[in-house]
Amino acid sequence: MPRVRLQDVAEHAGVSTKTVSNVVNDYPHVTPEMRARVLASIAELGYRPNATARRLATGRTGTLALAVSDVSIPYFAELARTVARQAAARGYRLLLEQTGDSIEAERSMLLGRESGLVDGLIFQPSRLETAELARYTLHAPMVLIGENAAPDSVDNVMIDNVRAARRVTDHLVGLGCRRIGFVGHEAGGISETSRQRLEGLHAALRDAGVPVLPELEIATSAIGAAQAEEAVGAALDAGIEVDGFFCRDDLSALGTLRALRVRGVAVPDDVAVVGWDDVAWAPFVQPTLTSVRPNTERLAQIALDLLEERIAGESGPGRHLIVEHSLVVRESAPASRPR
Amino acid sequence: MPRVRLQDVAEHAGVSTKTVSNVVNDYPHVTPEMRARVLASIAELGYRPNATARRLATGRTGTLALAVSDVSIPYFAELARTVARQAAARGYRLLLEQTGDSIEAERSMLLGRESGLVDGLIFQPSRLETAELARYTLHAPMVLIGENAAPDSVDNVMIDNVRAARRVTDHLVGLGCRRIGFVGHEAGGISETSRQRLEGLHAALRDAGVPVLPELEIATSAIGAAQAEEAVGAALDAGIEVDGFFCRDDLSALGTLRALRVRGVAVPDDVAVVGWDDVAWAPFVQPTLTSVRPNTERLAQIALDLLEERIAGESGPGRHLIVEHSLVVRESAPASRPR
DNA sequence: TTGAAAGCGCTAACAG
DNA sequence: CTGTTAGCGCTTTCAA
């Protein structure tokens, strides 16, 4: 790791630092001979500009941060892939922050003990609430994603959870389900995400004249297939009667499918199951999973658009944008079912 | 975003910048009164140290990079989670780089057009070969992970692929399989990872006196369940005769399971299936998947240990370390099978 | 224990 | 079109 500075190149080439800088930054107005001479010196000395010094001088870091609770959750993994790719295409690097579902971690990530670390932040809160969020002085522009009710002052992009949840419910009701269970909301303090999905479920049931049965709502200790399998299994063993399960996410659906299978309950004949996120493996499990698919590419694109505007200085009130979703119908809750 | 500098705090508190710096960095030798006065000013002005300036002055970035082809591949997602977590515990942030399976991207990531971006790099190559890797002058210390044969000069941590593959093969042979197919090596240019797994398969078959049948090796156009389903489906439709499938990774196994299911082939009764990586959903699919489980926590820990030693100045020859693995036996290739 | 001043490596006015 | 020079905000000798 040789330590060659811009100035070394300048001396070697017999020009000023400004000229070298111009060449490195592809500025126009440099004679071809100068440029060639400088490039030759750069190659000979193996010069690489120092990112830190450049940042200090320009005030831009060329880096964005993405903060989610856990990248290994399939939806977040796919989101990270998409955001990283699109950010790279726009010339940004991506810093990954995991809050691990802890409100403390979310706070300290927002407060950021240092400034000038990133140019902007894309954040999917899982525990922090609007009111608190609105109080903070951020160290960089931020765009919120996901279904948390964002404060009016902050940009936010999400899918319409209530509407999507209504659609899931309508689909199940259309299949003849009258006792629809819900799986996967947090046992210890429900998240805004789960709250909105439950709200959509309830609203659609009421509209359809189907009774709302809170006793069929099965909370889990954490997001995950194992937790869902355990909770659903316990409920089934306790004699719960359902003919459909609306799962908070595909991971819960996976656990639910297994709990049902182990007990010999047929899907979709006895119980229909719908998941949420339409992760990569949804079309491959047995039975293939009906699921809500958010348009993640578009979500990432809009989030980055909003963020770049903020970085460029936009200072208006927070914009709250909705990204489309669709319901991908597969075997676990097909278009229609023999009765 | 107020712009408060260290100097502003110093003036406000009526002390020198050095004193403020001492307080911010928790240096000893500061009188309690001074410290209190400075902290009060910091709070009042809302001062946050500027990360970039600090980096330039100290030469440390406090950031590591993790480079993999695609974070949404379940194994990489889990690896990223683990590395990010452990890096955070050691006081580092994590920059995520995706090479998207392109050799160009891997090259430019190594060459790094800027220096001083990160203190170190953890890299899982998928296309780049040892010889080329060894030629580069890196801009930061690097540790290689995964099964690529690393150059002697570079640190590397991996699992013993050949041994694990032999174990998988022995397991299948023990189950009575005599025509074992392999699924998921790259159709266009095999990777070192796949090569080693095939090598283990062949060696174990020879040792067991079972014929090696290359015609049962099914390449795929890319890593993924869909690609595997397509390739395996085509092979089955063409009349391939197998009694076991050794899949390059769990994604291939998932596609293989589906291809078999769709065609009414019973797993494990007609065909046993083994995957690799033991990703989170392996115990939940139908049938549950037998898979090779690398010790990812340990892999990450060792990689970070090696990297921190390099960052600290260690300059000896490359160390090549092996991390343990295990074979997790589940329904798709159980301990024994009725014959 | 605290203060003054010299960089860290680069960019960007401003001249020339 | 190219050179000079003054910062960017922090850390860190070296004195006091």
Q: What are the distances in angstroms from CA A124 to CA A9, B19, B112?
A: 44, 38, 30
Say if CB B98 and CB A88 are below 8 A apart: yes
Site of tokens 């998240």: A191
Say if CB A286 and CB A205 are below 8 A apart: no
> Which helix (H) or strand (E) segment is A247 a member of?
strand A244-247
pTM: 0.95
Of A88, A97, A138, the CB nearest to B1: A138
Say if CB B147 and CB B196 are below 8 A apart: yes
Domain boundaries of chain B, sorted by first residue: 6-49, 63-159+295-324, 161-293
Residue A139 pLDDT > 90:
no
Contact A254 B284 (CB under 8 A): yes
User: In 10 A of CB A115, how many CB atoms?
Assistant: 20
For domain B6-49, give the fold: 434 Repressor (Amino-terminal Domain) (1.10.260)
Residue of A nearest to B285 (CA): A285
**CATH number of the domain located at residue range(s) B161-293 in this protein:** 3.40.50.2300
Contact B139 A261 (CB under 8 A): no
In this structure, what DSSP letter does residue A214 have? Answer: G
- What pLDDT is stored for residue B339 in this prediction? 53
Over residues B49-105, the pLDDT tens digits come to 999 999 999 989 999 999 999 999 999 999 999 999 999 999 999 999 999 989 999
Chain A neighbors of B96, CB-CB under 8 A: 80, 84, 94-96
Nearest to A137 by CA among B97, B41, B3: B3
Of A78, A93, A281, the CB nearest to B225: A281
B56: nearest nucleotide, CA–C1' criterion? C8
In this structure, what DSSP letter does residue A50 have? Answer: B
Distance, CA of B160 to CA of B173 (rounded, Å): 20
Say which CATH superfamily domain A63-159+295-324 falls into. Answer: Response regulator (3.40.50.2300)
Site of tokens 């970085």: A311
Chain A neighbors of B233, CB-CB under 8 A: none
Nearest to A298 by CA among A281, A320, A322, A278: A322
**A148-152, A301-305, B33-37, B83-87: least confidently modelled range:** A148-152
Q: Which residue has its C-alpha nearest to nucleotide D3's C1'?
A: A16
- What pLDDT is stored for residue B165 in this prediction? 98
- What pLDDT is stored for residue A339 in this prediction? 53
In this structure, what DSSP letter does residue B247 have? Answer: E
- What pLDDT is stored for residue B321 in this prediction? 95
Contact residues for B85 (Cβ-Cβ < 8 A; gap 6+): A98, A100
- Sign, CA dihedral A82-A83-A86-A89, equals negative
Residue B334 pLDDT > 90:
yes
- Whether residue B287 has a cis bond before it, omega within 30° of 0: yes
Q: Which nucleotides of D are covered by protein (CB under 7 A)?
A: 1-5, 7-13
Distance, CA of B97 to CA of B76 (rounded, Å): 12
SS (H, E, C) A133-176: HHHCCCCCCEEEECCCCCCCCCEEEEECHHHHHHHHHHHHHHCC
Over residues B117-156, the pLDDT tens digits come to 999 999 999 888 888 888 888 889 999 998 777 788 899 9
- What pLDDT is stored for residue A2 in this prediction? 52
Chain A neighbors of B1, CB-CB under 8 A: 115, 137-140
Residue A241 pLDDT > 90:
yes
The spacing between the Cα labelled CA in B18 and the C1' in D12, in angstroms, equals 9
Distance, CA of A228 to CA of B98 (rounded, Å): 32
CA distance A213 to chain B (A): 28
Q: Are B63-159+295-324 and B161-293 equal in CATH topology?
A: yes
Say if CB A332 and CB A288 are below 8 A apart: yes
Over residues B25-35, the pLDDT tens digits come to 888 778 888 88
The spacing between the Cα labelled CA in B54 and the C1' in D13, in angstroms, equals 17
Distance, CA of B125 to CA of B149 (rounded, Å): 10
Beta bridge partners of B273: B245
Contact B55 A50 (CB under 8 A): no
A213: left (phi over 0), alpha (psi -120 to 50) or beta: beta
- What pLDDT is stored for residue A36 in this prediction? 87
